[in-house]
Amino acid sequence: MKTIRDFDGRLAGKKVLMRVDFNVPLDKETGAITNDLRIRMALPTIRYALERGARVILMSHLGRPKGQVKPEFSLKPVARRLGELLGADVKFAPDCVGPEARSAADALGDGEVLMLENTRFHAGEEENDPEMSRQLAALGDFYVNDAFGTAHRAHASTAGVAEHLPSAAGFLIEKEVDYLSRATTDPDHPYVAVMGGAKVSDKIQVLRNLLGKVDAMLVGGAMAYTFLKQQGVEVGDSLVEEDSLEVAGELLEQGGEKIVLPVDHVCARQIEADAEARSFDDEVPAGWIGLDVGPRTVELFKQKIEGAALVVWNGPLGYFEIEQFAAGTEAIARALADSGATTIVGGGETAEAVEELGLQDRISHVSTGGGASLEFLGGEVLPGIAALE
Ligand code: ADP
Ligand code: MG
């Protein structure tokens, strides 16, 4: 995969069309940006191009306008916030293609930035329409993709456009691919995967792919109960996906001794903050819901993690949004932070849990792409990455 570094020496005076992920959370009532992390994360790649005298043209989607112009999803406030962060004027084009985008791109000077309006205001974006790709490509001399979170989608701004221009990854995609490929290609051993979260069905492909590579797969969260039930263990009222029992059986067969399931459970009768919580060994009694791994399981999992050279973690080990069911997730986050292994964390809620604990700087890599990281870990080729190869 090429990176923006491969364009070094060729960027001065050139228009760099850059796909970023500025899909920031907005306040439902005021429309204000509630968290600008995604904008700040894009700064290194943007600055790299600007410092080399490029003219940077940014494109992104925001929200789900579904091919229609919806003012509440305008990127204008994002362009303003980017200007504050860069300490520079950021120009704005009210459309991402068409005459206004063209003339704004042509008017850019060296070291200047233009933000285009939401790519998803056109249906052609998500349809990967060749004409839309061609029009976007006409705005730039080079294409740089730094939006990992949409790299699993073949859209005009993530895949189509790359067919027309010399294309490369920005630093965010470079780091994602660097770390996530350590988990999928020629991984270090002992290699331990920790899997949790809500559903087996969301993660079958990841479970299957990683089972072929890891030395141990530690399974917690709600998904553990589908596996336990398949093994004939009493799981009470825990979340079980009946439709996934068969696949759980196949995975148990494929994984054999590698798969480590919880040996005790923190349970309650209702999923409520003030519900009475109790630990049970081995099984979840009738009338109770398994909501976190118990202390014996935590010890078991910690021992496996301590000896590992590489740990990949996806999915909280319990209903961590409620404090009394957060201990398992917290203990595993700390075990990763304290380990000398290369540690890779993926998944929206898992990353959130790590950040809430302030441990993100002690993890080798916290992936920002929810669906994209899962597809990568599942061994799939992401169209937005393939387009840069
Ligand atoms: P990620 O976004 O990290 O991939 P998922 O979306 O798969 O994770 O799952 C996260 C959700 O799983 C959390 O909201 C958490 O409350 C829930 N969860 C974890 N363990 C349990 C459990 N035992 N019972 C019910 N829900 C659980
Ligand atoms: Mg999730």
H helical segments located in the chain:
37-51, 76-86, 99-106, 123-126, 130-137, 171-184, 204-211, 223-230, 245-255, 295-306, 327-338, 348-356, 370-377, 383-386
Mean pLDDT of 50-72: 97
For position 130, what pLDDT does the model report?
98
Query: What residue ranges define each of the domains in the chain, with the CATH number in brackets?
Result: 4-169 (3.40.50.1260), 176-377 (3.40.50.1260)
- Set 63, 111, 348, 370: catalytic member: 348
Q: Is 174 in the pocket of ligand 1 (CB under 6 A)?
A: no
What is the DSSP secondary-structure string of 244-276? Answer: GHHHHHHHHHHHGGGEE--SEEEEESSS-TTS-
pLDDT digits 0-9 by tens, 170-216: 999 999 999 999 999 999 999 999 999 999 999 999 999 999 999 99
Residue located nearest, by CA, to atom 25 of ligand 1: 222
pLDDT tens digit string along 255-311? 999 999 999 999 999 999 999 999 999 999 999 999 999 999 999 999 999 999 999
Check residue 374 and give its pLDDT: 95
The model's confidence at residue 370, banded by pLDDT at 50, 70 and 90, is confident
Q: Considering only CA atoms, which of 139, 118, 166 is closest in space to residue 21?
A: 118
pLDDT category at 38 given cuts 50, 70, 90 is very high
Q: Is the CB of 221 under 6 A from ligand 1?
A: yes
CA–CA dist 137, 130 (Å, integer): 10
Q: Which of 218, 349, 366, 377 to mutate to test the pocket of ligand 1 (most atoms within 8 A of CB)?
A: 349
Neighbours of 111 (CB within 10 A): 16
Relative to the alpha carbon of 222, which ligand is closest? Answer: 1
241: left (phi over 0), alpha (psi -120 to 50) or beta: beta
17: part of which helix (H) or strand (E)? Answer: strand 15-19
Q: Which of 80, 199, 269, 296 does the annotation list as catalytic?
A: 199
Rounded to the nearest integer, the mean pLDDT of the chain is 97
Ligand 1 pocket, residue 187 CB under 6 Å: no
**Is 371 a known active-site residue?**
yes
Q: What is the mean pLDDT of residues 228-243?
A: 98
Q: Is 226 in the pocket of ligand 1 (CB under 6 A)?
A: no
Is the Cβ atom of 291 under 6 angstroms away from ligand 1?
yes
Residue 4 has pLDDT above 90, yes or no: yes
pLDDT for 355 equals 94
247 lines ligand 1 (CB under 6 A): no
Closest ligand to the CA of 348: 1
- Residue 199 CA to ligand 2 center (angstroms) comes to 9
Is the CB of residue 202 below 6 angstroms from any atom belonging to ligand 1? yes
Residue 251: per-residue pLDDT: 97
Of the ranges 4-13, 23-32, 117-126, 140-149, which one carries the lowest mean pLDDT score? 23-32
Atom of ligand 1 nearest to the CA of 351: 3
Type of residue numbered 327: A
User: What's the mean pLDDT in 35-61?
Assistant: 97
Least confident interval from 25-29, 133-137, 140-144, 363-367: 25-29
Q: Is 13 a catalytic residue?
A: no
Q: What is the predicted pLDDT for the residue at 161?
A: 98
Q: Measured between alpha carbons, how far is residue 184 from residues 87, 204, 257, 283, 326 in Å?
A: 40, 15, 20, 33, 29
Q: How far is the CA of 148 from the centre of ligand 2 (A)?
A: 16
Cα–ligand 1 centroid distance for 146 (angstroms) = 28
Give yes or no for residue 262 CB within 6 A of ligand 1: no
pLDDT(73) > 90: yes
Q: What is the number of the ligand closest to the CA of 220?
A: 1
Active site residue 38: yes
Q: What is the pLDDT of residues 323-349, one digit of tens each?
A: 999 999 999 999 999 999 999 999 999
State which of 319, 320, 355, 377 you would mutate to test the pocket of ligand 1, scoring each by most atoms of that ligand within 8 A of its C-beta: 319
Work out which ligand 1 atom sits closest to the CA atom of 199. Answer: 7
pLDDT of residue 389: 85
User: What pLDDT score was predicted for residue 325?
Assistant: 98
Q: Name, in order, each residue with C-beta under 8 angstroms of 303's C-beta and a sequence gap of 6 or more.
A: none
